[in-house]
Each structure stands twice: as structure tokens, then as C-alpha cells.
Amino acid sequence: MTTPAAETSEETPVGRSAGTSWVLRRVRPLGGDPVDVVLADGVVAAWRPAGSTHAGAGGLPAGTTVLDTDGLILLPGLVDLHTHLREPGREDAETVASGTRAAALGGYTTVFAMANTNPVADTAGVVEQVWRLGLDAGHCDVRPVGAVTVGLAGERLAELGAMASSAAGVRVFSDDGHCVSDALLMRRALEYVKAFDGVIAQHAQEPRLTENAQMNEGTVAARLGLPGWPAVAEEAIIARDALLAGHVGSRLHVCHVSTAGSVEIIRWAKAKGWNVTAEVTPHHLLLTDDLVCSFDPVYKVNPPLRTAEDVAALRAGLADGTIDCVATDHAPHALEDKETEWAAARPGMLGLETALSVVIETMVIPGRLDWAGVAERMALAPARIGGLPRTAAEVWSSIAVGAPATVTLLDPAPWRMVEPDALASRSRNTPYAGRSLPGTIRATFLRGRPTVLDGKIV
């Protein structure tokens, strides 16, 4: 793909020909030594010596397309545990089709679609609708997240069992955007999902401690005169829920961890042997609360951007596995909901098309994660937490022969300027506009079928 070459070789420039089998020539699986990787019948069919395969070579299925992928890194298809696709209800901000296009361009092959739609995804009917919209769009797998409580109101449990046994096969339940703040309801939800190995993904925000909160509580908030969102409001809920998960022997997943104290509590809960997992967003790995001084609502997000000390602890926690995975919290918002005064603006940032680049900048370039670590934190761990089929999750780690050809090809070298108008999302609320980020997704394959070639949707 780097040197598609009319005159140099028999290789096919990416995008010009659509075979059902593909050779990734001189690709570097998990950043290792180059090999030729054959994708056929939806799986990784063979590894061959680097550069040995050319169009018309023996042993290749008819119609094989050879891609020059020299220097590109082959990763398992990325899995996002935390995406807002906004359909049904806010199709002006995002649709399943536009959001999954953004996902594929970002290297994702599965996204978990959050339940805070309108109507809320709190019944088998709505989760099946979202799941079918994902199938129709075809850009990546869509796994709907079911709401924990009816209407996200935090008062009574939604039909968790019905959503689990629906065609959508829901395993992750979350009121994200809202905290399940009632301890008894949280306990009941944790108990209930054990029956089908589900997980409760908690948006940890003690509501009374965050009433009217506008940004991280701290010196910047004091200077700007904005009401603060204290770290303890997150940490208190995580500590409570970790204790509950340990008590009932169930699975808790903590959404968008944002403070150093939260990392410590999760480390403690894991040391206790409790089944607690956690995610961090790309923006909490890179950005800090002093950006709020601009009063640009693009930096308004929930949980809020925190301090440099928090960012350092989050990076360390992701590196040592205390934080299991990166999840985007891709939160598209229409212009009128974002381009307004700070207090009225909705919280949330786009993330799907820039997540891997931010992880490269904050974790790979400084040597905190290697490419196998990126695969673990952005594909394998979220697949495990989200209950994706075990066979697929296991083989993804190695991109071994027989693994589903659900992979992404990354050119790690170039830095590119983020241009909001060039994004596939229907919304424009990226906090990285005009900023240079490293790495470009060149291709994404879903079970052997390209969804992105040459950086463009197929």
C-alpha cells in the first residue's frame, strides 16, 4: 500500500481491485518482522516468507489481490466498548451508518453502542433495532449495550434478561451518561447479570457531589469561577461498586476512568481478586483541564478533563494493566448543542477516528506500550470484557493462521492534521481540530471483507 506501483510490480494498488482473497505483502503483524499474510475465506489462511508472494503465485486462490503493505503494522480489528451512535433519536448528530463508517476508518471492527438513545435501549425491541441497523450498514459489528434501568431513570431495573436473550445477545449493560447511584439497584443489577455472564458498565458519578458541575474541581475551576466536578464523586462510586461486585461475585466494568485516585482504587479491587475491569478514553490520556480556559465547549466532557497528575496516573495504569482497555466514549453532538455558551453545551467529544493516533502519541511513542500491548488494550481486552466469542478473541491476539481475518492495517509514521470537515462522523466536535496526530489507518478487514482500503470506506 505504501508503494502501489504501476511500473514496479505486479502488485495491485489498494482499492483498484476487489478480490475475495488478499495477500498483505511484507506486512508487520503486531509490529514484528515482515511476512506475507494471506487472507482467504474470511480467515487468516497462511503466513509466507516476506516478499515471496506475488500475483499469480502458486497456491493462491483464484481472484487473489496482492496488496503492497510494506512497513504497515497488522493489528487485530479494534474493539470499542463505549460508542454513542445516537440512533434512534438524534440522527442529526450521528447514525449507526455514519458512526460505524467513522469506526471502520479508525480501525475498529466492533463497537458497543451505548443505550442513551431516544427511545432508550432498555428493551429487546430497541437493542434489536440497533443491532439490525449495524448489520445493514455493514461497516463493522455493532453490539448494543442495554440500559440498566428503565429510561436511564435509576429507579427500576430494565428487562436485562430479555435483552440478553434477544437476537442482539446483549452482555454489557450501562446507564452511561447517568450513574446507577442507588446502591441496592446496583447490587441487584450485578446479581442479575451473573445468570448470563453479563457485566455492568458503570458511569461513576455521585450525583449530589456533582450538581451543576461544569468542569474538574481544582485550581483552574477556581480561577474561572466554574462549579467543580470533584474527583471524589467518581472515586466514591467506584469504591462502592467494587465492594458490591466483590460481595456478590459479579462483573463490574468502570467506564471512562479519569482520576489518579480511581486508578488506585481499581488497583486495590483487582488485588482483592474481584472481577473489576476499567477503561480510559483517549482524551483523558492526552488533554488536561487547563484547556477549559478557552471556554471552548469542545473541551466539555463527562467526566471532565482532569489535571496533568491524573493524566500521568492514567497512562501508568493503562501501561501496567490496572486499566484494562482504551474506549473512545465517542460522543457526537449537533452544532447547536456544542457551539453555545459553556454551561449550556452538552458534554462529549468525537473519538473513533483519532483514538489509535492518541494512543500512539501517549503510549507507544514514549515506550509505555508496544504493538502487542496496543492489540491487548484496544482489541483483545475489550473483546473479553464485552463477551465477544472466545475463539475470535483468543486468536486475535496473535493474528495466527485460522484467526478471523478481522484486522486493521496501520501506517504508524505519518503525522496528520485533524480536519473536522474530513471526518466521517456527522458531527464535528473533535477536540483535536488543527492538531497533528501520528498514524493513519490504511485498511480494515471484517472477516476477510475490506471495509476500508487506502484510507477510504469501501
* Chain residues in the site for ligand DOR (CB under 6 A): 84, 116, 176-177, 203, 301-302, 329, 331, 346-348
Q: Is 86 left (phi over 0), alpha (psi -120 to 50) or beta?
A: left
Distance in angstroms (rounded) separating the CA atoms of residues 442 and 408: 8
* Beta carbon nearer to ligand DOR, 177 or 431: 177
CB of 349 to ligand DOR, least distance (A): 7
Does residue 373 have a known ligand-binding role?
no
- Reading the block at residue 290, the C-alpha cell is 487547563
Does residue 333 have a known ligand-binding role?
yes
* Rounded CA Rg of the chain: 22
Distance in angstroms (rounded) separating the CA atoms of residues 289 and 15: 42
Does residue 203 have a known ligand-binding role?
yes
Distance in angstroms (rounded) separating the CA atoms of residues 295 and 393: 42
Q: Which of 292, 289, 284, 290 is nearest to 262 (CA)?
A: 284
CB of 300 to ligand DOR, least distance (A): 8
CB of 256 to ligand DOR, least distance (A): 7
Sort strands 215-216 and 228-229 into parallel, antiparallel or unpaired: parallel
* Beta carbon nearer to ligand DOR, 129 or 210: 210
CB of 46 to ligand DOR, least distance (A): 43
In the chain the first and final C-alpha atoms are separated, in Å, by 15
* Beta carbon nearer to ligand DOR, 240 or 300: 300
* Beta carbon nearer to ligand DOR, 40 or 81: 81
Does residue 347 have a known ligand-binding role?
yes
Does residue 296 have a known ligand-binding role?
no
Q: Are 210 and 216 in contact (CB under 8 A)?
A: no
* Beta carbon nearer to ligand DOR, 66 or 331: 331
CB of 351 to ligand DOR, least distance (A): 10
Q: Which of 50, 348, 82 is nearest to 202 (CA)?
A: 82
Burial letters 208-226, b for 16+ CB under 10 A, else e? ebbeebbbbbbebbeebeb
* Beta carbon nearer to ligand DOR, 203 or 377: 203
Question: Which helix (H) or strand (E) covers residue 233, if one does?
Answer: helix 231-248
The catalytic residues are: 329
Q: Which of 254, 245, 270, 235 is nearest to 186 (CA)?
A: 245
Q: Which residue is nearest to ligand DOR (CB)?
A: 348
Grid cell 490520556 is found at: 285
Does residue 438 have a known ligand-binding role?
no
Does residue 330 have a known ligand-binding role?
no
Q: Are 452 and 424 in contact (CB under 8 A)?
A: no
CB of 333 to ligand DOR, least distance (A): 6
Binding residues for substrate: 84-86, 116, 302, 333, 347-348
* Sequence ranges of the binding site for Zn(2+): 82, 84, 176, 203, 256, 329
